[in-house]
């Protein structure tokens, strides 16, 4: 059976991306959850992941680390699950958006770390961070206009939605205002059953990691 190694669910945004793609594929899998920010975290992750990072997917002899590589592996392994859009132009666009997330938005990641079960009052963001939020909102609005929503590429979620799900969580946690189509999209992603399953697990976690909470 497939195994996915993830960081604990309150904080691990990269793990959430890989895990959501796997959960959305609706295939049986086992999960190993490693608490982040503990004295033995690095050693525990290295037992499974050569990069020392999570998520990592284990399929028999094959280990795939890195969320985007996991998404591509699952897309190839389960072609019927339509994890990327069917149309090749749409697929190229979805891949570009997932890659933009994967390699960018460092200010938002640093300033607003994912704490999926928390909510704080709004505090103005640094201009660089607000500019990244604005870019993400523009991406969403453009996709939703073209596809008709409720997900970025139409009626069904795809890998691109999984990649932006941690942003939906951050906007919620830090009460960052968005309106119109972007707000409707956040509500859709937040209600997506695989995301709600992750949130329910996160709510049961008792760990409070200093680095993430302070």
Ligand X SMILES: N[C@@H](CCC(=O)N[C@@H](CS)C(=O)NCC(=O)O)C(=O)O
Contact region with ligand X (CB under 6 A), list: 12-20, 124-132, 133-141, 149-157:
12-20
Q: CB 59: neighbour CB atoms within 10 A?
A: 16
Among 2, 4, 5, 7, binds ligand X (CB under 6 A): 7
CB 207 to ligand X: min, Å: 13
Q: Is 169 near ligand X (CB under 6 A)? A: no
**Smallest distance, Å, CB 137 to ligand X?**
22
| Alpha carbon 172 to its chain's center | 14
Instruction: Show Cβ contacts of residue 102 under 8 Å, excluding neighbours closer than 6 positions.
Output: 67, 68, 163
- Among 32, 151, 23, smallest CA distance to 78 is for 23
- C-alpha 212/C-alpha 205 separation (Å) is 14
- DSSP-derived letter for residue 180 is H
Q: Report the nearest approach of ligand X to the CB of residue 13 (Å).
A: 5
Q: Does 202 bind ligand X (CB under 6 A)?
A: no
- What CA–CA distance (Å, rounded) separates 94 from 159? 8
- With binding defined as CB under 6 A, does residue 150 bind ligand X? no
Among 10, 23, 24, 53, binds ligand X (CB under 6 A): 53
| Cβ(69)–Cβ(56) below 8 Å | no
Q: Which residues pair with 29 in a beta bridge?
A: 2
Does 15 sit near ligand X (CB under 6 A)? yes
Smallest distance from ligand X to CB 160, Å = 14
Query: Can residue 54 be called a binding residue for ligand X (CB under 6 A)?
Result: yes
Which residue lies nearer to ligand X by CB, 53 or 91? 53
12 in contact with ligand X (CB under 6 A): yes
Contacts of 62 (CB under 8 A, 6+ apart): 73
Closest distance between ligand X and the C-beta of residue 54, in Å? 4
For ligand X, the binding residue among 27, 42, 138, 191 (CB under 6 A) is 42
Rule CB under 6 A: is residue 66 a binding residue for ligand X?
Answer: yes
Applying CB under 6 A, which of residues 13, 90, 129, 188 lies at the interface with ligand X?
Answer: 13
Q: How far apart are CA 187 and CA 173, in angstroms?
A: 13
Examine residue 72 and tell whether it contacts ligand X (CB under 6 A).
Answer: no
Distance CA 107, CA 126 (A): 9
Note the residues at the interface with ligand X (CB under 6 A). 7, 12-15, 36, 41-42, 45, 53-55, 66-68
């Amino acid at each position: 059976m497939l195994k996915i190694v993830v960081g604990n669910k309150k904080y691990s945004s990269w793990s959430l991306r890989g895990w959501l793609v796997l959960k959305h594929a609706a295939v049986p899998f086992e999960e190993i959850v490693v608490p982040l920010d503990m004295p033995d975290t690095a050693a525990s992750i290295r037992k499974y992941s050569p990069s020392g990072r999570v998520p990592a997917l284990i399929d028999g002899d094959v280990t795939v680390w890195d969320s985007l590589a996991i998404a591509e592996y699952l897309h190839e392994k389960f072609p019927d699950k339509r994890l990327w859009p069917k149309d090749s132009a749409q697929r190229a666009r979805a891949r570009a958006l997932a890659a933009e997330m994967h390699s960018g938005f460092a200010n938002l990641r640093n300033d607003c770390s994912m704490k999926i079960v928390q909510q704080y009052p709004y505090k103005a963001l640094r201009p660089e961070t607000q500019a990244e939020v604005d870019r993400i909102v523009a991406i969403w609005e453009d996709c939703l206009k073209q596809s008709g929503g409720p997900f970025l590429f139409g009626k069904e979620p795809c890998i691109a939605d999984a990649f932006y799900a941690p942003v939906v969580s951050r906007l919620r946690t830090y009460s960052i205002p968005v309106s119109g189509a972007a707000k409707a999209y956040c509500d859709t992603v937040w209600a997506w059953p695989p995301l709600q399953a992750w949130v329910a697990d996160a709510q049961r976690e008792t760990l409070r990691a200093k680095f993430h909470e302070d």
